[in-house]
C-alpha cells in the first residue's frame, strides 16, 4: 500500500513561500494514498498558471497542457483508460475564464474524474490581473479603478449545471481538504472541488486571515444535508459562497462512461484494435 | 449506345432530391457502372435549390462531366439554373405540376411528366421521386427490376405493399414518358457495364472506415459541414467495436480530448473544417511539443470565416502547414481518391504514433462529399504500426522518472502509457528535459528542439506524389492536390492527344514537402501549371518556397465555390500555355 510519501517526487515547487497551492498538493497526495491508489495508477492533468504546475509536483503520471484545457485532456484520458484515476486541476482563470465552457460541460457530462480548482481570485502567473473570481471593486493591474464585473459563482454554476458532486475547501484546513478530495475520488461521476488557495504575492485582500474570518464550515451548519440540492443552492447563496465542506453529493448518479452504448468493458487501451476480415467485410458491404 | 451519361436531378432542398439521386446511383452501381457524383446544396435545411449530378460510365470515371444528358426537374428553378449544361441531344424531364417552361436559348427538348400526379394517384405524392426514376429508366432502357433491391432495402421495413407501390411508381413513370417520346425510348442507353461489385461512397465514408480499420476507438468532434458524416459514421460503428465518440462543446475540446485519449494509448482523432481547424491550432502545437500522437481530418470548404460553408475550396493549405505558433514537426497528407482517403487515414494513424506528432489529413468538399464508385479495398493491405510503445518495464520499482523524451538517434523516444508500473514521467507543453521536467537551459532547448524536428527525417510515406509523367521533356507539368485529380487527368489526356506533351503530379504529402522528387519533375517541364481551388495560389507558393521554380510556374485558380470541370479546365490550362 502506497503512503502519501510515495506520491512525493524530487521536484521542488517554484511557488512563492506561503502560497496556498502547497497545501492542495499535500492534500492530493494524502487523499490518493488514503483511497488506496498506487502512484502509477493516478494521472494528474493540469492547466496553465502557478497552480497548473501541480502535475509536476506529484509522483504520478502528469500532464501539464495548455491554458484552460485540463478538463478535455483529462476526459479524453479517462475515456481511453477507465482503470486510471484521473484528477484535473488548475487555477480560477484556467477553469472559470478561458476554460469555463469546458468546466460546465464536464460537469454536465459526468465522466468519472475529479476536478480541483485552486481559486486565489487572481491571475498569479501573469503577475496579478483580475480574475472572474475577483470581487467587484477589487483593484489589480488590469482593474486600477476596481473590478467592474461581479465575481463568478462557481458553486452556483456547478449546481445549476447538473453537478453530481460539489465541494469547497480551504488550503489551511488540510484535514478537511484531504477528506473532501477523498470523497471526490470515491464519487462515481464528475466531482468538482473548489479550493480557496490564497495568493500571498498578488492578492492582499483575500488573505488567509480574511478567509478564516469569513468562511463557514457546513459541518457547523445545523441541519445541513448535502444530498438536498435546493438546500445546497439556498445555503450557498445565503453565505455568498463562503462555505467549506461537501456542498452537494448525488450518490445515485451513473457516470457518463456507464451510459455509453457499446463502450468496452475493458479499458480501450486493452482491447484488440485490429478488425477481423469478417468485421471488415461486414462494414464494407453497406457501401455496395 | 452512350459511353458516358451525365444525369442531374434538382429541386428544393428537403423534397427528397438527395434520395432520388441515391436510388438511381445505387442501382447503376449494382449493374457494375462507375459513378462520380456532385452535390450542390445551400446552407439551409428546407428550401433553396439543390441538385445532385451523377456521371455514369461503363469504364472508370474520374470527375463530373461538363455537360448534362438528362435533367430531372422538380421545379422551374432547376431548369433555369442548370439549362446551360444541356445540349441539343439532352432532354429535360420536368414535373408537369409546376407547368415547366423552357428558357430562351435552351436547345434541349422539355417533357412535362405528371410525376406528382401519378404518385398521388398511387397513394402519396412522396413517390414522385420514384416516378421520375421510372422516366429516367425508360430513357436508359432499364427494367424496373433493376431498382428492386434498392427499393426493398429502403422501404422493406415498411412492408411489402410499400415496396410494391414504389416499384409500380417506377413502372408508371416509364410508361408516362414512353407515351410522349415514342421511339426515343432507350436513346440514352449506356454501353453495358462489367457487372463488378464496387463500393459507392463519399470520401468521408472512406476516411471513417479507414479510422476504424486503423484501430481508432475514440473520436471527439463538433459538427460542421462538410466533416460531420465522419463523426456520424463513427457514432454508428464504434459501438460495434467497443469504442466511443464524444460530441464536444467546441473544437478546442475535441482536439485536446483526442490528445488526452492518445496520451492514454488509444488511437483517437477529430474531424472538422476551416472554422474548427482555426480553433484547434493551439492544441496542434501542444501535440507537437508534448509528442502526443494526434490525427486531425480537415475537410476544406469555402473560407474565410464562415465563407462558403457548403462549397468547394482548397484554401486551408497554408493554415494547415503553418497555423501554429512556434515550430513543431507535423505531417500533412492530402489524399485525392477514395482509395487514398481510406489508406491514407490508416497511414495517418500509423505516422502519428510512430513519429509521435500531429498528422493532418486534408480533403476538400468535393472529395469529402462527392459520391464515387471504387474497387473494394484490399483487406490484406491494412497494417497497424504503433511505433515505440514500451509495454512493461524491467525495473518496475524504479523511483526515477522514465525518460519519455530520451534524446535518441532518430529523435523518437520510447513511449510509455499512463498506468504502466515504473513508467512515471511528466508531460508538459513547457520546454522540458528528457524526463519531461520543465527546463529552460539553452543546451537542453537545442537538444529537445532538434530531437523533435529530427523525427521528420524518419517519415516513411508511400507515394508522396502521385505521378503520371510519360514525357522526359514535357511542355507542361500540371500540379494539383485533393479532388482536382480526376479533372487534371482528363485534361492531361486531351492535351497529350492534341500533341501538347503533358505530365501530371498530384501532391499527396504536403508537409514535409517532397521537394527533391518535385524538383525532378519540374526540371523535365518547360512550364508548370498549378491547378487550385483558391484565389492566391497556395500550392504554387509552396512549390516556389521549396523548389524555387518562380519563372516557369503559373496558376489556374478557381474560387467560385465549384469544382473544376474537365473541359473548362482544359480551356483554362490552354490559355496559360
Ligand atoms: C491561450 C493563453 N492565453 C493566455 C495565457 C497567459 N496566462 C497564463 S496563466 C494565466 C492566468 C493564470 O491565472 P489562474 O488560472 O487563476 O492561475 P494562477 O496563476 O492564479 O494559479 C494566463 C492569462 C496563456 N498561457 N495561454
Ligand atoms: S504568485 Fe501567488 S499563486 Fe503564484 S506561486 Fe506566488 S503566491 Fe502562489
Ligand atoms: Mg488564480
- Shared domain check, B448 and B501: no
Cα B359 to the chain's mean position, in Å? 17
Q: Ligand 1: which of A15, A48, A194 to mutate, most ligand atoms within 8 Å of CB?
A: A48
- The x, y and z cell numbers of residue B488, run together, are 487534371
How confident is the model at residue B394, as a pLDDT? 87
- Residue B244: its chain A contacts at CB < 8 A? 79, 260, 262-263, 268
Mean per-residue pLDDT for B418-438? 97
- The x, y and z cell numbers of residue A202, run together, are 498578488
Rounded CA-CA distance B535/A94 in Å is 39
- Residue B197: its chain A contacts at CB < 8 A? 288
User: pLDDT for B356-389, tens place per residue?
Assistant: 999 999 999 999 999 999 999 999 999 999 999 9
Q: Is residue B419 part of a domain?
A: yes
- Residue B419: its chain A contacts at CB < 8 A? 40-41, 43, 61, 81, 83-84, 269
pLDDT higher than threshold 90 for residue B145: no
Rounded CA-CA distance A35/B91 in Å is 77
Taken in order B437, B440, B442, B445, the sign of the CA dihedral is positive
Residuewise pLDDT in 10s, chain A (288 residues): 899 999 999 999 999 999 999 999 999 999 999 999 999 999 999 999 999 999 999 999 999 999 999 999 999 999 999 999 999 999 999 999 999 999 999 999 999 999 999 999 999 999 999 999 999 999 999 999 999 999 999 999 999 999 999 999 999 999 999 999 999 999 999 999 999 999 999 999 999 999 999 999 999 999 999 999 999 999 999 999 999 999 999 999 999 999 999 999 999 999 999 999 999 999 999 999
Cβ of residue A180 lying under 6 Å from some atom of ligand 1: no
CATH number of the domain residue B41 falls in:
3.40.920.10
Whether chain A has a CB inside 8 Å of the CB on B32: the answer is: no
Measure A119 CA to ligand 3 centroid, in angstroms.
Answer: 6
Q: Is residue B193 part of a domain?
A: no
Query: Atom 22, ligand 1: which residue's CA is nearest?
Result: A126
**Is residue A263 a contact partner of residue B178, using CB atoms and an 8 Å limit?**
no
Give me the residues of B, 421-450, that contact A with CB < 8 A.
Answer: 421-430, 436-438
- Whether a cis peptide bond, with omega within 30° of 0, leads into B226 is yes
Instruction: Provide the pairing of β-strand B49-57 with A243-249.
Output: unpaired
Q: Is residue B150 part of a domain?
A: yes
Say if the Cβ atoms of A84 and B419 lie within 8 Å: yes
pLDDT higher than threshold 80 for residue B44: no
- Shared domain check, B300 and B364: yes
How confident is the model at residue B41, as a pLDDT? 84
Say if the Cβ atoms of B246 and A102 lie within 8 Å: no
pLDDT > 70 fraction of chain B, expressed in percent and rounded: 100
- Shared domain check, B370 and B399: no
**Is residue B466 a contact partner of residue B505, using CB atoms and an 8 Å limit?**
yes
In b/e form, how buried is each residue of B93-127, taking b as 16+ CB within 10 angstroms?
Answer: bbbebbebeeeeebebebbbbbbbbbbbebeebeb
Inter-chain Cβ pairs, chain A and chain B, closer than 8 A = 207
Which of B253, B280, B396, B423 is the best residue to mutate to test the A interface, defined by the most A CB atoms within 10 Å of its own CB? B253
How confident is the model at residue B172, as a pLDDT? 96
How confident is the model at residue A110, as a pLDDT? 98
Mean per-residue pLDDT for B73-80? 97
How confident is the model at residue B472, as a pLDDT? 98
**Mean pLDDT, all residues of chain B:** 96
CATH number of the domain residue B276 falls in:
3.40.50.970
Examine the fold and report which residue of B379, B405, B422 is the final residue of a domain before the chain moves on.
B379
Mean per-residue pLDDT for B199-220? 98
DSSP B179-225: HHHGGGTTTTPBPPP-----EEEEHHHHHHHHHHHTT--EEEE---T
Q: Is residue B127 part of a domain?
A: yes
Cα three-residue angle B134-B135-B141, rounded to 5 degrees:
85
Q: Which chain A residue lies closest to B153 (C-alpha atoms)? A: A286
Name beta bridge partners: B201. Answer: B372
How confident is the model at residue B42, as a pLDDT? 79
Cβ of residue A211 lying under 6 Å from some atom of ligand 1: no
Non-local (6+) Cβ contacts of B285 within 8 A are A66, B324, B325, B326, B328, B429
Taken in order A143, A147, A149, A155, the sign of the CA dihedral is positive
- Shared domain check, B475 and B440: no
- Shared domain check, B480 and B453: no
Compare CB distances from A76 to B268, B417, B426 and report the shortest one's residue. Answer: B268
- Shared domain check, B242 and B134: no
- Shared domain check, B141 and B120: yes
- The x, y and z cell numbers of residue B494, run together, are 486531351
- Shared domain check, B547 and B498: yes
How confident is the model at residue B78, as a pLDDT? 97
Q: Is residue B481 part of a domain?
A: yes
Mean per-residue pLDDT for B179-201? 93
Kindly provide the ipTM of the predicted complex, given to two decimals.
0.98
Examine the fold and report which residue of B326, B356, B379 is the final residue of a domain before the chain moves on.
B379
Selection from B139, B141, B130, B140 nearest residue B171 by Cα = B130
CATH number of the domain residue B555 falls in:
3.40.50.920
What sections of B356-441 are H helices per DSSP?
A: 365-369
DSSP character for B462?
S
pLDDT higher than threshold 90 for residue B397: no
pLDDT higher than threshold 90 for residue B144: no
The boundaries of the domain holding residue B102 are: 5-184
Rounded CA-CA distance B501/B474 in Å is 5
How confident is the model at residue B285, as a pLDDT? 98
DSSP A209-250: HHHHHH-EEGGGSTT--TT-HHHHHHHHHHTTT-EEEEEEE-
Selection from A202, A193, A187 nearest residue A124 by Cα = A202
User: pLDDT for B92-137, tens place per residue?
Assistant: 999 999 999 999 999 999 999 999 999 999 999 999 999 999 999 9
Helix H, strand E, coil C: the string for B217-265 is CEEEECCCCCCHHHHHHHHHHHHHHCCEEEECCCHHHHHHHHHHHHHHC
- Residue A101: its chain B contacts at CB < 8 A? 249-250, 253
pLDDT > 90 fraction of chain B, expressed in percent and rounded: 93
How confident is the model at residue B43, as a pLDDT? 74
Q: Is residue B190 part of a domain?
A: no
Cβ of residue A184 lying under 6 Å from some atom of ligand 2: no
- Shared domain check, B321 and B267: yes
Q: Which atom of ligand 2 is nearest to the CA of A20?
A: 8
Rounded CA-CA distance A240/A196 in Å is 14
Instruction: Provide the pairing of β-strand B110-113 with B68-73.
Output: unpaired
- Shared domain check, B254 and B369: yes
The dihedral formed by the CA atoms of B19, B22, B26 and B29, expressed in degrees to the nearest 10: 160
- Residue A84: its chain B contacts at CB < 8 A? 264, 418-419
pLDDT higher than threshold 90 for residue B399: no
Examine the fold and report which residue of B379, B407, B439 is the final residue of a domain before the chain moves on.
B379
User: pLDDT for A70-110, tens place per residue?
Assistant: 999 999 999 999 999 999 999 999 999 999 999 999 999 99
pLDDT higher than threshold 80 for residue B45: no
**Is residue A28 a contact partner of residue A8, using CB atoms and an 8 Å limit?**
no
Cβ of residue A202 lying under 6 Å from some atom of ligand 2: yes
How confident is the model at residue A255, as a pLDDT? 97
Smallest Cα distance from A64 to chain B, Å: 4
In b/e form, how buried is each residue of A87-108, taking b as 16+ CB within 10 angstroms?
Answer: bbbbbbbbbbbbbbbbbbbbbe
Rounded CA-CA distance B429/A169 in Å is 29
**pLDDT grade for B182, boundaries at 50, 70 and 90:** confident
How confident is the model at residue B16, as a pLDDT? 87
- Residue A105: its chain B contacts at CB < 8 A? 248-249, 253
Q: Is residue B192 part of a domain?
A: no
Q: Ligand 1: which of A13, A19, A49 to mutate, most ligand atoms within 8 Å of CB?
A: A49
Whether chain B has a CB inside 8 Å of the CB on A262: the answer is: yes
- Count how many domains chain B has: 4
Cβ of residue A200 lying under 6 Å from some atom of ligand 2: yes
- Shared domain check, B487 and B440: no
- Shared domain check, B163 and B102: yes
Measure A123 CA to ligand 3 centroid, in angstroms.
Answer: 4
Q: Is residue B194 part of a domain?
A: no
Cβ of residue A51 lying under 6 Å from some atom of ligand 1: yes
Amino acid at each position: 500500500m502506497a503512503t502519501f510519501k510515495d506520491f512525493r517526487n524530487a521536484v521542488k515547487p517554484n511557488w512563492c513561500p506561503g502560497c496556498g497551492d502547497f497545501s492542495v498538493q499535500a492534500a492530493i497526495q494524502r487523499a490518493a494514498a488514503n483511497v488506496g491508489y498506487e502512484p502509477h495508477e493516478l494521472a494528474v492533468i493540469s492547466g496553465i498558471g502557478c497552480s497548473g504546475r501541480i502535475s509536476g509536483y506529484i509522483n504520478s503520471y502528469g500532464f501539464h497542457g495548455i491554458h484552460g484545457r485540463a478538463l478535455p485532456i483529462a476526459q479524453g484520458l479517462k475515456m481511453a483508460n477507465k482503470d486510471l484515476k484521473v484528477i484535473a486541476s488548475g487555477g480560477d482563470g484556467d477553469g472559470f475564464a478561458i476554460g469555463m465552457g469546458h468546466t460546465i460541460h464536464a460537469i454536465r457530462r459526468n465522466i468519472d474524474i475529479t476536478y480541483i480548482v485552486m481559486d486565489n481570485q487572481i491571475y498569479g502567473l501573469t503577475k496579478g490581473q483580475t480574475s472572474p473570481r475577483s470581487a467587484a471593486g477589487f483593484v489589480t493591474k488590469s482593474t486600477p479603478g476596481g473590478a467592474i464585473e461581479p465575481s463568478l459563482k462557481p458553486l452556483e454554476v456547478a449546481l445549476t449545471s447538473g453537478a453530481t458532486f460539489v465541494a469547497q475547501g480551504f488550503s489551511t484546513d488540510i484535514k478537511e481538504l484531504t477528506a473532501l478530495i477523498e470523497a471526490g475520488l470515491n464519487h462515481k461521476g464528475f466531482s468538482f472541488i473548489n479550493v480557496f488557495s490564497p495568493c500571498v504575492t498578488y492578492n492582499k485582500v483575500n488573505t488567509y486571515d480574511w478567509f478564516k474570518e469569513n468562511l463557514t464550515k457546513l459541518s457547523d451548519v445545523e441541519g445541513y444535508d448535502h444530498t438536498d440540492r435546493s438546500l445546497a443552492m439556498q445555503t450557498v447563496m445565503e453565505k455568498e459562497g463562503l462555505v467549506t465542506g461537501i456542498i452537494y453529493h448525488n450518490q445515485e448518479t451513473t457516470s457518463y462512461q456507464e451510459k455509453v452504448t457499446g463502450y468496452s468493458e475493458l479499458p480501450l487501451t486493452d482491447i484488440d484494435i485490429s478488425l477481423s476480415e469478417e468485421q471488415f467485410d461486414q462494414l464494407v458491404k453497406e457501401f455496395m | 449506345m452512350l459511353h458516358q451519361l451525365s444525369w442531374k436531378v434538382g429541386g428544393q432542398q428537403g423534397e427528397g432530391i438527395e434520395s432520388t439521386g441515391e436510388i438511381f446511383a445505387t442501382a447503376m452501381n449494382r449493374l457494375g457502372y462507375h459513378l462520380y457524383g456532385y452535390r450542390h446544396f445551400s446552407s439551409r435545411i428546407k428550401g433553396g435549390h439543390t441538385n445532385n449530378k451523377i456521371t455514369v460510365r461503363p469504364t472508370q470515371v474520374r470527375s463530373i462531366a461538363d455537360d448534362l444528358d438528362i435533367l430531372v426537374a422538380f421545379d422551374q428553378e432547376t431548369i433555369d439554373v442548370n439549362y446551360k449544361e444541356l445540349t441539343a441531344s439532352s432532354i429535360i424531364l420536368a414535373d408537369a405540376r409546376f407547368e415547366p417552361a423552357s428558357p430562351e436559348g435552351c436547345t434541349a427538348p422539355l417533357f412535362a411528366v405528371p410525376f406528382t400526379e401519378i404518385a398521388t394517384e398511387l397513394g402519396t405524392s412522396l413517390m414522385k421521386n420514384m416516378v421520375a426514376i421510372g422516366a429516367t429508366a425508360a430513357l436508359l432502357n432499364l427494367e424496373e427490376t433493376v431498382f428492386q433491391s434498392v427499393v426493398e432495402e429502403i422501404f422493406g421495413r415498411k412492408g411489402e405493399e410499400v415496396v410494391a407501390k414504389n416499384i409500380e411508381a417506377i413502372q408508371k413513370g416509364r410508361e408516362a414518358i414512353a407515351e410522349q417520346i415514342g421511339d426515343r425510348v432507350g436513346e440514352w442507353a449506356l454501353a453495358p457495364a462489367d457487372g463488378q461489385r464496387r463500393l459507392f461512397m463519399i470520401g468521408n465514408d472512406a476516411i471513417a472506415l479507414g479510422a476504424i480499420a486503423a484501430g481508432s476507438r475514440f473520436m471527439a468532434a463538433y459538427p460542421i459541414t462538410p466533416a460531420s458524416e465522419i463523426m456520424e459514421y463513427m457514432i454508428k460503428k464504434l459501438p460495434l467495436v467497443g469504442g466511443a465518440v464524444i460530441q464536444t462543446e467546441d473544437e478546442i475540446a475535441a482536439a485536446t480530448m483526442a490528445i488526452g485519449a492518445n496520451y492514454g494509448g488509444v488511437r483517437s482523432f477529430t474531424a472538422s473544417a476551416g472554422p474548427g481547424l482555426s480553433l484547434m491550432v493551439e492544441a496542434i502545437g501542444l501535440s507537437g511539443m508534448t509528442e502526443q500522437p494526434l490525427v486531425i481530418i480537415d475537410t476544406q470548404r469555402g473560407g474565410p470565416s464562415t465563407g462558403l460553408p457548403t462549397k468547394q475550396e482548397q484554401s486551408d493549405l497554408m493554415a494547415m502547414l503553418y497555423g501554429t505558433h512556434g515550430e513543431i514537426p507535423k505531417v500533412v497528407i492530402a489524399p485525392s481518391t477514395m482509395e487514398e482517403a481510406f489508406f491514407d487515414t490508416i497511414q495517418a494513424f500509423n505516422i502519428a504514433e510512430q513519429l509521435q506528432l500531429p498528422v493532418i489529413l486534408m480533403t476538400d468538399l468535393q472529395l469529402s462529399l462527392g459520391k464515387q464508385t471504387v474497387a473494394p479495398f484490399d483487406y490484406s493491405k491494412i497494417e497497424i504500426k504503433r511505433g515505440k510503445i514500451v509495454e512493461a518495464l524491467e525495473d518496475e520499482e524504479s523511483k526515477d522518472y522514465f525518460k519519455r523524451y530520451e534524446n535518441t538517434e532518430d529523435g523518437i523516444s520510447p513511449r510509455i502509457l499512463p498506468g504502466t508500473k515504473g513508467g512515471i514521467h511528466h508531460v508538459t507543453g513547457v520546454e522540458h528535459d528528457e524526463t519531461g521536467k520543465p527546463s529552460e537551459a539553452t543546451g537542453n532547448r537545442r537538444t529537445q528542439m532538434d530531437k523533435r524536428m529530427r523525427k521528420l527525417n524518419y517519415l516513411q510515406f508511400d507515394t508522396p506524389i502521385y505521378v503520371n509523367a510519360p514525357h522526359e521533356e514535357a511542355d507542361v507539368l500540371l500540379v494539383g492536390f485533393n479532388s482536382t485529380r480526376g479533372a487534371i487527368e482528363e485534361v492531361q489526356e486531351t492535351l497529350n492527344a492534341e500533341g501538347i506533351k503533358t505530365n501530371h503530379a498530384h501532391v499527396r504529402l504536403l508537409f514535409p514537402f517532397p521537394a527533391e522528387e518535385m524538383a525532378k519533375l519540374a526540371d523535365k517541364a518547360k512550364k508548370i501549371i498549378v491547378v487550385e481551388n483558391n484565389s492566391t495560389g497556395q500550392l504554387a507558393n509552396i512549390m516556389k518556397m521549396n523548389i524555387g521554380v518562380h519563372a516557369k510556374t503559373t496558376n489556374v485558380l478557381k474560387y467560385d465555390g465549384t469544382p473544376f470541370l474537365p473541359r473548362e479546365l482544359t480551356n483554362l490550362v490552354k490559355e496559360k500555355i
